[in-house]
Amino acid sequence: MSVAEFQKLHNDLSAIYKDGKHEELLKHYTDDCCFLTPLQAPYGIKDAPEAFKNSKMQGYDKGELTVTVDDVKVSGDIAIDRGHYVLKLESEKKGRSALFEIKLFFSYFTRPCK
């Protein structure tokens, strides 16, 4: 798969999330996937509906999300995409954050820096 194909996938998934169609969004993930987010402890597909209700997640689907795929590496039937995102929210709070992509066991995980 190419960077353009992964970019389209991320754009499509972001649009589904923004529309609040969480159940439809989850159909695009495998049953054994694990979500690693900076907002809460890792959770699986079965816990995702409850995770979307987490107070820390409220309002994120209303924000302006831009995901940019920087690179794609393919090895056999495994593809890994590396990228970055910007999420703009309406808020009185202002600040900065940085994200680091960490390669761990051939997968990239995003870790927040405060």
Question: How is the chain split into domains, by residue range?
Answer: 3-113
Does the predicted model carry a pTM greater than 0.85?
Answer: no
Query: Which pLDDT band, with edges at 50, 70 and 90, does 108 fall under?
Result: very low
- CA gap 21, 76 in Å, rounded: 32
CA 31 remoteness from chain centre: 17
In angstroms, rounded to a whole number, what is the distance separating the alpha carbons of residues 86 and 103?
20
Residue-wise pLDDT tens digits, 13-46: 889 988 888 889 888 888 888 887 777 888 888 9
Nearest to 17 by CA among 85, 114, 105: 85
Residue 110 has pLDDT above 50, yes or no: no
Q: Is the pLDDT of residue 60 over 80?
A: no
Q: Do 69 and 12 meet the contact criterion of CB atoms below 8 Å apart?
A: no
Q: Helix and strand tally (H, E) in the chain?
A: 3, 6
- Residue that is written with structure tokens 């593809």 in the block: 79
> What is the CATH topology of the domain spanning 3-113?
Nuclear Transport Factor 2; Chain: A, (3.10.450)
The rounded percent of the chain whose pLDDT value lies above 90 is 4
Asked if 46 and 61 count as a contact pair (C-beta separation under 8 A), the reply is no
